Amino acid sequence: MTHDAAPLRESAITGPPRGPGPAVRPMRDGDAEQVLAVYQAGLDGGQAGFETAVPSWPDFTAGRPAHLRFVATGTATGTTTGTATGEVTGWIAASPVSSRCVYAGVIEHSVYVHPGHRGRGVGRALLAALIAAAEENGIWTIQSGVFPENTPSLRLHEALGFRVVGVRERIGRHRGVWRDVLLLERRSRTTGV
C-alpha cells in the first residue's frame, strides 16, 4: 500500500514548527540508491548496526511496509546548506516484530542519517514522522536496538519518548568484538491505552 506525501501536522510529538528543516516524505522505489548509500555510510561508521554491507533493494523493502518507510530530503531554505534538494539525507523504516496477532501493534525500526547531515534535525523529523504514522495505523509500541556507544541515537530516542527497557549483553559479534545492545521502546499515549 502506498500513501501520498502529506505535510507533518503539529502534534504533541513534533510540536509547533521550529523554522526550516528537512522535508520528510514516504520512501519511494526511486530512492533506492540514495537510501542504500546512507545505510552503508552508517554501517561504515561502526556504531549503527551489526551488518557490514547493505542488502539488495528487494531485500531491504521486504517486510518493511510502505506506510512505515520515510526519507528526509535536502534541507529547507534558510539553513546552512541553502535551498531544498531532492537529495536523501536520511531514512527511517519499521517492520512488525512478529506475525502473531497479539503483536500486531508492535514494530521495530531503524533510522539512519547521512554523516554530512547529522545534527540538523533530520533524525528527529524522521522519527516524529514514524511515530505519527504508527499511531495513525494502530501501533502501540515502537522498539529499536541501539549500541550503548551510539549516544546521538540514544539522545534522539529519549527526546521523543523512548526509554531503555533492557540490555542485551554480548548479543552479537561486530568486527571481531562482542557488542551489547540497548533495547529501547516507546509506548503510545493514545493507541492501545
Domains of the chain and any CATH numbers: 23-187 (3.40.630.30)
pTM score, two decimals? 0.84
> How far apart are alpha carbons 147 and 50 in whole angstroms?
9
- Residue 78: the pLDDT is 36
> How far apart are alpha carbons 190 and 138 in whole angstroms?
9
CA distances from 69 to 1, 5, 29, 108, 125 (A): 11, 11, 11, 12, 13
pLDDT tens digits for range 43-97: 999 999 999 999 999 999 999 999 999 999 975 433 344 344 689 999 999 999 9
> How far apart are alpha carbons 70 and 134 in whole angstroms?
12
Q: How far is CA 17 from the centre of its chain?
A: 20
pLDDT tens digits for range 104-125: 999 999 999 999 999 999 999 9
**Lowest-confidence segment of 7-11, 31-35, 109-113, 186-190 by average pLDDT:** 7-11
Nearest to 175 by CA among 50, 7, 23: 50
Cell digits for 45? 561508521
CB 131 within 8 A of CB 160: yes
Going by pLDDT thresholds of 50, 70 and 90, the confidence category of residue 193 is: confident
